[in-house]
């Protein structure tokens, strides 16, 4: 019996679940993180350029190339380990090195990315970060270090994964142009667990930065939406009274609707992506299972105070934009209905006027028919009198008498003839 055939995508879909393994991170160690995104049309970018840029970096260290069409890579480059991932809008590079820099968050850690290679990147930097991973047997000394490394007002610090690690960061760009994150791992914490936390911190920072692009778009749309809203409100106000030129108002409404639909189409992807990225940020924080450290704010609280209001602004702008678009469409429908009703009334008046005109024409026709009977009868009576002239002497009847006798007969015959002709025409 032949084996059952597999679906063509069975193995591909099963392997996709394991395509992005978490890094294995030694303690103590350091990491440099970079996310690159084209300034425009990132989702439709040339992914071959991303791969070529990665291969350029690998060739500098004589490292093995990734598989064709790969969306991730993990391998050794010199003394360091590189993790590369390709996402919908961006690519990320994370380089791990054993040991700690003598000076915390030394910019030299980022120097593993060559300057000329960075300058040739097929996109712009979305974010970059320096990550320091230390061993901490207890809480002693952590407060002093984070107060020295981070801005206290913005500092977020918490215990994660049942107090196996303490994480800290202030989400500020330091003088060298990078974000800073610190991890304090308890002795005996597994390397895979540390790797998962490092990965989560990088994802939180990246998706937070990508989400904020939606806020930038929402703010840019503010003045344009305000101007459109003013125009739309004015047009709706004009519709409350008599409209002198409905066609002009309808054309204006159509222009407003077209402009709104164009804005919706151009913003749909960015607003949709912002919602998805926001969800990922909160999900990545939740899986860390934070508990408070020393009464300081946690990462979740930081996001609630600083990040969530920005996301609400994006959602509010998206909802307002959709509401304005719907309002413009409804206004156009109402105006068209009003114009149709007015046009129906005009048509009704026209039909009534045509009925009156037809009635007048019928009466005029009847009058003309009556006059025609008289005229025809007049000439017919004269013809009859000429024809019956010899009978005057034979029967000794005067001309007046003959006319009196002939006139009713002629009139009746002419009237019957005209009626017969009219009936044939009407048929």
Which residues does 201 contact at the CB level (< 8 Å), separation at least 6? 129, 131, 167, 169, 181, 183
Classified by CATH at the fold level, domain 10-135 comes out as TATA-Binding Protein (3.30.310)
pLDDT of residue 369: 67
Q: Identify whether 219 is preceded by a cis peptide bond (ω within 30 of 0).
A: no
How is residue 175 written in tokens?
A: 């003088």
> Of 33-47, 193-207, 228-242, which gets the smallest average pLDDT?
228-242
Measured from the Cβ of residue 38, the count of other Cβ atoms closer than 10 Å reads 19
pLDDT for residue 1 is more than 60: no
Contact between 165 and 288 under an 8 Å Cβ cutoff? The reply is no
Where residue 80 falls among pLDDT bands split at 50, 70, 90? Answer: very high
Where residue 198 falls among pLDDT bands split at 50, 70, 90? Answer: very high
pLDDT of residue 286: 96
How is residue 213 written in tokens?
A: 């692009």
Q: Domain residue spans in the chain?
A: 10-135, 211-348, 359-426
Q: What is the C-alpha to C-alpha distance for residues 26 and 29, in angstroms, rounded to an integer?
A: 6
CATH, domain range 211-348:
1.20.58
Where residue 409 falls among pLDDT bands split at 50, 70, 90? Answer: confident
Where residue 394 falls among pLDDT bands split at 50, 70, 90? Answer: low
Closest CA to 66 of 78, 79, 82: 82
Closest CA to 73 of 95, 97, 90: 95
How is residue 186 written in tokens?
A: 């308890």
pLDDT of residue 333: 78
Out of 16-30, 103-117, 250-264, 413-427, the most confident range is: 103-117
Contact between 107 and 176 under an 8 Å Cβ cutoff? The reply is yes
pLDDT for residue 214 is more than 80: yes
- 137 against 240, higher pLDDT: 137
pLDDT for residue 339 is more than 70: no
**What's the Cα-to-Cα distance from 63 to each of 47, 70, 112, 268, rounded to whole Å?**
20, 16, 14, 40
> Of 47-51, 196-200, 240-244, 300-304, which gets the smallest average pLDDT?
240-244
Where residue 358 falls among pLDDT bands split at 50, 70, 90? Answer: confident
pLDDT over 90, % of the chain: 52
pLDDT of residue 18: 74
pLDDT digits (tens, 9 = 90+) for 32-55: 999 999 988 898 899 999 999 999
pTM for the model: 0.78
Torsion of CA 416, 419, 420, 421, to 10 degrees: 130
Q: What is the C-alpha to C-alpha distance for residues 194 and 191, in angstroms, rounded to an integer?
A: 5
pLDDT of residue 47: 92
pLDDT of residue 2: 59
């Amino acid at each position: 019996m032949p084996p059952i055939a597999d679906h063509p995508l069975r193995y591909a879909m099963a392997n996709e679940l394991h395509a992005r393994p978490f890094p294995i991170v030694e303690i103590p160690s350091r990491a440099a993180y970079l996310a690159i995104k084209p300034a425009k049309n990132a989702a439709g970018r040339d992914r071959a350029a991303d791969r070529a840029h990665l291969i350029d970096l690998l060739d500098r260290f004589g490292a093995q190339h990734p598989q064709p069409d790969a969306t991730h890579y993990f391998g050794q480059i010199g003394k360091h380990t590189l993790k590369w991932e390709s996402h919908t809008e961006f690519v990320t590079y994370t380089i791990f090195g054993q040991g700690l820099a003598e000076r915390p968050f030394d910019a030299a850690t980022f120097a593993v990315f060559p300057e000329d290679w960075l300058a040739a990147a097929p996109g712009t930097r979305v974010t970059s970060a320096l990550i320091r991973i230390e061993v901490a047997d207890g809480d002693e000394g952590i407060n002093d270090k984070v107060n020295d490394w981070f801005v206290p007002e913005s500092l977020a610090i918490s215990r994660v994964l049942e107090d196996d690690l303490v994480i800290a960061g202030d989400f500020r760009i330091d003088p060298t142009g990078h974000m800073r994150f610190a991890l304090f791992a308890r002795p005996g914490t597994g390397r895979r667990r540390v790797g998962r936390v490092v990965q989560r911190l990088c994802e939180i920072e990246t998706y937070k930065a990508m989400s904020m692009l939606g806020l930038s778009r929402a703010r840019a749309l503010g003045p344009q939406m305000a101007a459109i809203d003013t125009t739309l409100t004015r047009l709706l106000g004009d519709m409350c009274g008599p409209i002198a030129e409905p066609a002009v108002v309808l054309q204006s409404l159509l222009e407003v609707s077209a402009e709104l639909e164009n804005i919706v189409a151009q913003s749909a992807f960015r607003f949709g992506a912002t919602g998805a990225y926001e969800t990922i940020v909160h999900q990545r924080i939740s899986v860390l299972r934070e508990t408070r450290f020393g009464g300081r704010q946690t990462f979740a609280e930081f996001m609630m105070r600083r990040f969530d209001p920005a996301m609400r602004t994006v959602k509010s702008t998206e909802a307002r934009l959709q509401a304005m678009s719907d309002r413009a469409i409804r206004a156009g429908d109402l105006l068209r209905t009003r114009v149709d009703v007015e046009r129906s009334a005009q048509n009704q008046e026209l039909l009534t006027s045509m009925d009156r005109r037809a009635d007048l024409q019928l009466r005029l026709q009847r009058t003309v028919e009556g006059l025609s009977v008289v005229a025809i009868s007049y000439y017919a009576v004269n013809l009859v009198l000429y024809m019956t002239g010899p009978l005057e002497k034979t029967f000794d009847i005067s001309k007046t008498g003959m006319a009196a006798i002939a006139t009713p007969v002629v009139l009746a015959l002419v009237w019957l003839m005209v009626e017969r002709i009219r009936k044939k025409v009407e048929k």
